[in-house]
Structure formats: C-alpha cells, structure tokens
Amino acid sequence: MGFLIGSILTLILLAGTDFSYDVTDVSVGEAHGCAIYDNGSVWCWGAYPGKVAEVPYIAKRVQNLPYATSIASGRFGSCAVDLENNLWCWEVDYQRSLRANELLLSTIPFLVEGLPPVIQFDLGYDHQCALSIEGEVWCWGGNTGGELGVGDTEMYSEPIKVLYVTGAVSMSAGVNNTCVILDRGSLSCWGTDNPTSKDEPFIYKLSEPIIFSVENFGEFTDVANGRNFGCGLQTDGKVTCWGPNILGQLGSDALRLAEGPSGIGEVDNITNASDLDAGYFHACAVQRGEVICWGVFESPTPRLPYKVPGITNATRVGTGGLFNCAVDDGKVVCWGDAEIDGVSVIEDMGANKPALVPGLPD
C-alpha cells in the first residue's frame, strides 16, 4: 500500500513538471520565436535587441514565468498570459522604457502594470495591445498612426482602453494599425493600413475604431495584421485579405473589390483554414494539416498561395522576419533561408525545408 501511495504521489508531482511535451502554440517575432507547451512552460530561441545570439539558435526555457496559457512574440520581445490572466513580458520593457525615455531590457519576465485580467495579447511594430476577459482592448506605446485607438496620436506609456470596443473575441496588432473581431464576427480596425504613405491609406486612417461591413469583408473568427495589409479567417474557413497587393500579400490576382494596386479578396485555394498569421509582407494559414503561405518572404518575388513542404499535421502557424514556424505533430518546425556568416539561424533549416528547433523538449 505504501508503494502504491508513493507512486500516486509521484504521478501527481510529475503532473506539475516537464512531464508532457506537446506544443500547443507558437509565435514568431522579428528574429526570435517562442513555443508554449501543454505543461504551461514557454521556450524561446533567437535574437532580441541588445542580445547577441549564437547561431544556430538553441531554444531555452523562460525562467521565473508562471504557468502560461498563451504567448505572443514581436519585434522587441515576447509576452505570456498566466492562469490568473496576468500579462508577463521579457526583453524590452515598453512601459519603463517609455517612462524613462531610454531602452530598458529585462531577461526576467516582468508583470505588465495597469491592466485588467486579460486573455490575449499582441505586439505590433511599435505598440502593444491586450484583450481583457470582458472583451475590451487596452493598448500602449507608439501611436503615430492612431494605432492605440484612443482618438489622438499621442504616445502612451501606460495601458489605455480603446474607445467604443466591447465584445471583442480576437485581436491583432500590426504596423501602425490594430484590428479586432467582435462577438458577432464583424471586423473593427483603427490606425492606418498604409504606414508607408499615411496620408493616402487604402481603406482607413483614423485614431478611433470603425466597424467594416460584413458584405465587403466577411464574417470572421480571427484576424492577422501585416505591415500594410490584413487578413481575416472567415467562419466558413476561407481567408479574406485587404490592402495593397503589390507584393502578393492578398493571396490572389482576382480581387472582388479593387482600387489601383489595392483591394479586398479571398485567398486562392483556401477553403478550410483553421489558423492564420501575417508577417510584414506575407501570410500563412493552416488548412487540413498543411501550411499554405503567400506574398513575399524568402525571396523578393511575390508568390501566390503555395504549400510548405514536409508539414502534414499542423495545428498552428506563426510568421516572422527571419523565419516562419508551425506546430506539426505537437513539435515546432521552422523554415526560411536566413543565415548569419553563412550559418543557418536554425540548424538544417531552408526556405523550403522545415526543421525542428534544437533545444526544444522531445
């Protein structure tokens, strides 16, 4: 009996350790990525501002981080939401950097102050936003395009609630823009979708949220913002993209609404997508276990939707600057042609050759 009780106690204790090693999500930033496991641990790899990373990159567990339920990576760092709906971030500390007017880094996760309980978070190019459990959105950071959604273009070092947004269920922060999906599937955005020419946006340039018509944009479950375009995952599994299409960001040459080089349309050959993410000038979706990408990523030539080889059982996808990653069969694989001094940033990785990330648990 003592042996049995001891065995049971051992199993209970192991349940709180690194006993299970299935990845539930992956997120990719400018030059780094992070994965979250079903035991709440977070592992990251790559380079951050002010941090020299040896290549090939090797993943390491993020220390001093509570059990995480979701993650997000961006240009300057990464963040995770814990079981109590607190937000923890590491690397660039946006709040304290803005307060001090200097770049402050922290490799130890720190608690973001001034937020209500949150369920989702995203890092834009120069701003950050969090989605609360009440369906409200709070943003802070740079605001030159009105991307904070508070009615002005002033910078805010502390989280401030976005005007008029209630019932939000999903959110994405891009370059000078932010979009949310509301509880009835409608799309609401603010900022500008053309940061390279802020006086001539394709669809919007405003510092307050507006709701776009379902007739033109569709009914969505998720949204992903890129540099000057956005894509939404429709309730029927199709993907609609909007904005400039010069680099193939919209995934189709046959747009249903076009204005010069820009437009709105459905991505070719995407009819049953389950996940979606957007980088600067490209996007990727998961469809029936495969990963489909489009736009400009590893080469300067725009590409219509193409299948990433070697991925057959994907559940999640994350797009970045140096590489993209997916969760395939519970493991993280990444692809891209990024090299430093002739060495691939991820061992055995290529533009059309996904590779496992060294250092991640088996």
What does the angle CA 262 – CA 294 – CA 358 come to, to the nearest 5 degrees?
140
Nearest C-alpha neighbor of 107 from the set 89, 123, 134: 89
Residue 7 binned pLDDT confidence (cut-offs 50, 70, 90) = very low
Please report which confidence band the pLDDT of residue 58 belongs to, taking 50, 70 and 90 as the band edges.
very high
38-313: in CATH 2.130.10.30: yes
Q: What is the number of other CB atoms lying within 10 angstroms of the CB of residue 310?
A: 14
**Which has more pLDDT, 13 or 164?**
164
Per-residue tokens: 45: 């790899």
**Residues β-bridged to residue 92:** 105
Mean pLDDT of the chain: 91
For the residues 334-346, what does the mean pLDDT come to? 93
Mean pLDDT of 294-312: 95
pTM over 0.75: yes
> Is pLDDT at 8 greater than 80 in this prediction?
no
pLDDT of residue 202: 67
List the single range of 19-23, 28-32, 156-160, 176-180 with lowest mean pLDDT.
Answer: 19-23
Q: Answer for the pair 136, 165: CB distance below 8 angstroms, yes or no.
A: yes
User: Does the structure show a pLDDT above 60 at 2?
Assistant: no
Q: How far is CA 180 from the centre of its chain?
A: 13
Range with the lowest mean pLDDT among 27-41, 84-98, 131-145, 276-290?
84-98
Give the per-residue pLDDT at 357: 97
Identify the bridge partners of residue 202 per DSSP, sorted by sequence position: none
